[in-house]
Amino acid sequence: VIELDNLLKDLSNLSAVSGNENLVFSYIVNYAKKYAEEIKTDSMKNIYVFRKGFGANRKKVMLCAHMDEVGLIVSSFTDEGYLKFRVVGGIDSSVLLAKRVFVGDDNVKGIIGIKAVHLTDKEERKKKPSIEDMYIDIGAESREEAELLVNLGDFASFDTDTGSFGNLLKGKAFDDRVGCFILCNLLQNQYYDDIVYCFTVQEETGLRGASVASYNIDVDFCYVLESTTCFDLPDIGVDKCVTRIGDGPVLSIADRVTYADKYLNQRFMDSCEKFQYKMSGSGGNDAGAIHLKGIKTSSVSIPARYIHSPVSVISSEDVDICIKAFDKLLSKGVDNID
Amino acid sequence: MISAIPSPSGNEEIIKKFLKKLINVETYEDSIGNLVVHKSGNGKKVMLICGIDEDAIVALSQEKNKIYFNHLGNKKLYPGTLISINASDGYICAKDDKKPLENQYIGMVSDDEVTPGTSGVIFSEYFEDDNYIKGSRIGKVCVINEMINLANNYSGELDLYIVFEVQSLFNHKGALVASNIINPEFTITFEEIESGDKDLLLIKAAKGYISPQNGESFFEKAELKPYADTDLEITASFVKNSVVSVVGVPVKFASYPSSYIYKEVKEKIEKLFEIIF
C-alpha cells in the first residue's frame, strides 16, 4: 500500500462545497505564506499567490486550480426533522443513496435516505431515484430539533476519509484538491518565470471564480491543473474510457468550452516523461473562462475514477509525474526555448 | 481557391499562412490565433470579423483503421460522408445502422497512425457555373475575399480592425477573445444562413454593447432583431448605425457537406462592402 501525502489528505478531507470554500481558503493562505512574496484575494475569495522568477526573459505565468467541490445545500426541513436538499454542481442522483454527509459548519453527521425499495412499485423501481424524493437524516426527531442543529442554506459535503488502497488513492474531493496539491508543491520553489498560483472558487457552478480571476491578473500563459473523468473499467471500449489511471497526466485537445493552446500543450509534453490525451470532447473547466480574456491557456489533468461522487480514485504516480513535469518546465521557463 | 484550403476549426494554420500571402499589409495574431489587420484611423473603432474556419473532425483515439473523433461545427455527419484527415480519406460510419447519428467513427481507407488532436475536414469540391458557386463554407469565403481587398486597399477614417476569426464554429471563441482585446465601438460580422434566397441579405442587429465577460455566446446575448431589405443602401445604413451587425449570407444546404450560393449573393456582398467602406 502506498503512502499518502499529508498535505493531499488534509486538502481532500476539508469541506468546500462551491460557494463556501472558507476552510480550504484559510488552509492554503496559511500554507502559502511561508513561501510567497505576496498573497492577494478578491471579492469572490479567489487566492493569488505571487512568486517572482529568476529568468532574464521571464514571462508571467498563471497556474490555476479550483478549491471548491460538488456537494449539497439544505433547502427545507420536514416536520419529522429530515432535511430536503439540492445538489451544488453536477452530481448524478444514483450515487447519493445511503451515503454519509457532513452538514453545516458544525459538521453535523447525516445519512442520505429515500423510501425503501420494499415500498416501491414496479414502475418506480425502473426509474432513477430523484433528488426530490431524497432527504438527509440527521437523527433529529422534529423540525424544531433539526433547526437547532442546521440552518437553511447550509452546505453538506461527503463524509469520506482520504486514504490509500492497493496502489491507488481514494478521497471525496480530488476534483480539484489534487490540482491545489500540485500548486502547493510547486509554489515552494522559485522558477524562471514570474508565477501566479491562482486558487479559484465556484468552478463547479459555472467557472465563476476563474471568470473574475482572469480579469484581475495580467499574464501571458496559463495552465489549469485539474482532475478529469476516467472510465477505464471492464467492458468499456477504447472510444469511451476517456483516460486511464496510471498512464500519466492528461492533456486536453478540445472540450466543451476550450480548444487547448497547442504551444502550451507541446511545452508540457516536452517536459513530461509520460502523458495521455483526453479522448473526449465533453466536459470543461476554468480554462473555458480564462482563455476568453486573451490568455493562452491549456489544461493538464489527473485522471480520476468516479468523479463528482462521494469518493473518487486517483494514482499518486500520475500526480508525481505531473509535478516533476511542471518542475522541469518551469525551471526552464515556459516560453524560454534554447 | 480559399474554399479548397482545409481550415478545421481550431487548426487554421494553413489558411492563415495562405491569407498572409494575399494580404499586402502588416498582420498580427492575437492570443487565440485570430489573424488581424489594423487600419489605424481617427474615426470610430470598428471591428469587421468573419470566421475562416470550417467544421472540424478532431481525432481522439484509434483502433486500427477506426478513428473516434470529436466534431466541432454544425454540419450533419451522416454515414457515408467523406472525411479528409491527414491527407487520407475516410468515411463516417455508425456502429448501429438504426441510429446513424450516434456512436460514429471514421472508417479510414488506410490504417496509418493518426495522432490524437489531428484535425480533418468534410470533403467538399469547389464548383462554379453561371448561377451557383459550390464549396466548403462558400458564403464566408466570399466575405473573406472582400475582407482581403479591404485590408489591402482601405484608407478611410475608421479605426478599423479586420479580424479573420478562428474557432468561430466553437461558440464564436475567436470573436469573444477579439472583442475582449479590441473593445470595439461597432462590430460587423457575417454568418451563413440556411436559405435558398438570392434577392437579399438577411440582417440582424443589436443596439447595445455586448459584453463577452460572462462567457455567453456572442450572438445569443445580443437579442438580435431580424431585418431584411432588398435595397443595399438601406442595409448598409442599418449596418453602419448598429453597435453589432450580423449580416446573414444565404447559403443553400448550409448544414450539409456541400453548400451553394447564388452568384448574385456574391455580387451583393461585394456591393455591400463598397457602400459601407
- What's the pLDDT score for residue B230? 59
Q: What is the mean pLDDT of residues B140-146?
A: 95
- What's the pLDDT score for residue B238? 64
- What's the pLDDT score for residue B63? 86
The answer to whether A203 is a known catalytic residue is: yes
The one catalytic residue among A203, A226, A273, A317: A203
Assess whether pLDDT exceeds 80 at residue B229: no
Distance separating alpha carbons of residues A277 and A300, to the nearest angstrom = 10
Inter-chain residue contact A253 with B176, CB threshold 8 Å: no
- What's the pLDDT score for residue B1? 74
- What's the pLDDT score for residue A27? 97
* CB A296 within 8 Å of CB A225: no
Give the pairing type, strands A168-171 and A312-314.
antiparallel
Query: What percentage of chain B reaches a pLDDT higher than 70?
Result: 84
Higher pLDDT, A68 or B269: A68
- Residue B258 phi/psi, 5-degree rounding, is -110, 130
Assess whether pLDDT exceeds 50 at residue B207: no
Q: What is the mean pLDDT of residues B96-122?
A: 87
* CB B187 within 8 Å of CB B47: yes
Q: What is the mean pLDDT of residues B272-277?
A: 88
CA–CA min distance B11, chain A (Å): 9
Given its phi and psi angles, is residue B237 left (phi above 0), alpha (psi -120 to 50 degrees) or beta? alpha
Q: How many CB atoms lie within 10 A of CB B232?
A: 17
Higher pLDDT, A221 or B102: A221
For the four alpha carbons of A254, A256, A258 and A264, in that order, the dihedral sign comes to: negative
Higher pLDDT, B190 or A39: A39
pLDDT in tens, A282-307: 889 999 999 988 899 999 999 999 99
Distance separating alpha carbons of residues A35 and A191, to the nearest angstrom = 13
pLDDT in tens, A167-191: 999 999 999 999 999 999 999 999 9
Q: Which residues 6+ apart lie within 8 Å of A150 measured at CB?
A: A74, A77, A83, A103, A104, A108, A138
Assess whether pLDDT exceeds 60 at residue B213: no
Look at residues B219, B204, B85, B120 and name the one whose alpha carbon lies nearest to residue B165: B219
pLDDT in tens, A92-108: 999 999 999 999 999 99
What is the count of residue pairs from A and B with beta carbons less than 8 Å apart? 73
Mean pLDDT, chain A, whole residue set: 94
pLDDT in tens, A120-159: 888 888 888 899 999 999 999 999 999 999 999 999 999 9
Q: How many CB atoms lie within 10 A of CB B125?
A: 12
The cell numbers describing B198, all together, are 438570392
Indicate the residue of A259, A265, A294 with minimum beta-carbon distance to B170.
A259
Q: What is the mean pLDDT of residues B20-24?
A: 97
Say which amino acid occupies B261: I
Look at residues A16, A24, A9, A107 and name the one whose alpha carbon lies nearest to residue A68: A16
Distance separating alpha carbons of residues B252 and B220, to the nearest angstrom = 23
Distance separating alpha carbons of residues B223 and B5, to the nearest angstrom = 34
Q: What is the mean pLDDT of residues B206-232?
A: 46
Assess whether pLDDT exceeds 50 at residue B224: no
Q: Give the range among A8-12, A187-191, A251-255 with minimum mean pLDDT.
A: A251-255
- What's the pLDDT score for residue B237? 67
Helix, strand or coil, per DSSP, at residue B182: helix
Assess whether pLDDT exceeds 70 at residue B215: no
pLDDT in tens, A15-60: 999 999 999 999 999 999 999 999 999 999 999 999 999 999 999 9
* CB A321 within 8 Å of CB A246: no
- What's the pLDDT score for residue A152? 95
pLDDT in tens, A230-248: 998 888 887 788 999 999 9
Indicate the residue of A238, A265, A288 with minimum beta-carbon distance to B215.
A288
Q: How many CB atoms lie within 10 A of CB A61?
A: 25
Say which amino acid occupies A2: I
Distance separating alpha carbons of residues B3 and B190, to the nearest angstrom = 16
Assess whether pLDDT exceeds 70 at residue B208: no
- What's the pLDDT score for residue B205? 60
Assess whether pLDDT exceeds 50 at residue B216: no
Q: Which residues 6+ apart lie within 8 Å of B216 measured at CB?
A: none
Query: What percentage of chain A reaches a pLDDT higher than 70?
Result: 99
- How large is the angle between the packed helices A316-332 and A262-271, nearest 10 degrees? 110
Assess whether pLDDT exceeds 80 at residue B226: no
CA–CA min distance A282, chain B (Å): 9
Q: What is the mean pLDDT of residues B164-175?
A: 90
- What's the pLDDT score for residue B219? 43
Enumerate the residues of chain B whose CB falls inside 8 A of the CB of residue A236. none
Higher pLDDT, B112 or B224: B112
Give the pairing type, strands A108-113 and A100-103.
antiparallel
Higher pLDDT, B233 or A153: A153
From chain B, which residues contact A within 8 Å (Cβ)?
A: 9-10, 30-32, 58, 60-61, 63, 68, 70-72, 105, 116-117, 167, 170-171, 173, 176-177, 180-181, 212-215
Mean pLDDT, chain B, whole residue set: 84
Q: What is the largest CA-CA distance in chain A?
A: 72
Which position has the grid cell 467557472?
A: A207
Distance separating alpha carbons of residues A137 and B16, to the nearest angstrom = 61
* CB B214 within 8 Å of CB B192: no
Enumerate the residues of chain A whose CB falls inside 8 A of the CB of residue B30. 294
Higher pLDDT, B240 or B113: B113
Q: Which residues 6+ apart lie within 8 Å of B240 measured at CB?
A: B186, B276
Question: Which strand (E) or helix (H) includes residue B248?
Answer: strand B244-251
DSSP code per residue over B200-215 = -EEEEEE-S---GGG-
- What's the pLDDT score for residue A1? 53
Q: What is the mean pLDDT of residues B134-148?
A: 93
- What's the pLDDT score for residue B211? 38
Indicate the residue of B58, B60, B180 with minimum beta-carbon distance to A294.
B180
Inter-chain residue contact A253 with B212, CB threshold 8 Å: no
